C-alpha cells in the first residue's frame, strides 16, 4: 500500500506518475477476459493459451469467483550449428464479484482451444403467486 503525503517540493511531484505503475502493469499483463450474462446464467471467458487445466484453480467464496493459474512453457530446439530455447513463466489471478442472483456453488468450468469458460447459473426465480379473489364478509 502506498500512502500519498502532502510534501511540498519537487520530488513528490516527480514520483506521482509511478505510484500506480504496478497496478497498471498488472492490468495490462492480465489475461484477456469477457464477462456476460443472459436469462439463465453468467458467463466468464478468459484467454489462457499455453496454460494447462491442471495449472488453473477456480474458487467461489463470499460471492466472488477467483481464477488463479500459472503459465509454464518451455521450448527447446537444436540443430547442427544452432540452438534455440524459449521459456515463459507467469502467475495470474482475476476476481469477479457475482450478482445476488448467482448460484456460485453450481459454477462449472471447461477449457477449450486455450479459452477457459466459466458458467455460473442464476437462481430460479419463483413465479409470483396468482392473484386470488378474496370474499369480503359483513360484520
Reported pTM: 0.64
Three-class DSSP category at 130: coil
114: Cα within 13 Å, side-chain hemisphere:
7
CA distances from 25 to 1, 21, 52 (A): 16, 6, 24
DSSP 122: B
At 21 the pLDDT is 61
Sign of CA dihedral 99, 102, 42, 61: positive
Gyration radius of the chain over CA positions: 25
Please state, in angstroms and rounded to a whole number, the distance separating the CA atoms of residues 76 and 129: 66
3-state secondary structure 4-43: CCCCCCHHHHHHHHHCCHHHHHHHHHCCCEEEEECCCEEE
**Residue pLDDT, tens place only, 36-71:** 999 999 999 999 888 888 889 999 999 999 999 888
pLDDT at 2 over 50: no
Q: Are 74 and 11 in contact (CB under 8 A)?
A: no
Amino acid at each position: 500500500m502506498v500512502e500519498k503525503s502532502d510534501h511540498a517540493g519537487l520530488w513528490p511531484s516527480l514520483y506521482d506518475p509511478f505510484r500506480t505503475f504496478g497496478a497498471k502493469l498488472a492490468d495490462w499483463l492480465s489475461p484477456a477476459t469477457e464477462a456476460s450474462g443472459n436469462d439463465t446464467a453468467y458467463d466468464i471467458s478468459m484467454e489462457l493459451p499455453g496454460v494447462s487445466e491442471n495449472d488453473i484453480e477456480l474458487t467461489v467464496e463470499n460471492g466472488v469467483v477467483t481464477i488463479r493459474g500459472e503459465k509454464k512453457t518451455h521450448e527447446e530446439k537444436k540443430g547442427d550449428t544452432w540452438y534455440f530455447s524459449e521459456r515463459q513463466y507467469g502467475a495470474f489471478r482475476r476476481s469477479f464479484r457475482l450478482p445476488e442472483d448467482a448460484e456460485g456453488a453450481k459454477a462449472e468450468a471447461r477449457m477449450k482451444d486455450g479459452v477457459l469458460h466459466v458458467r455460473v447459473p442464476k437462481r430460479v426465480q419463483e413465479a409470483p403467486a396468482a392473484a386470488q379473489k378474496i370474499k369480503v364478509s359483513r360484520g
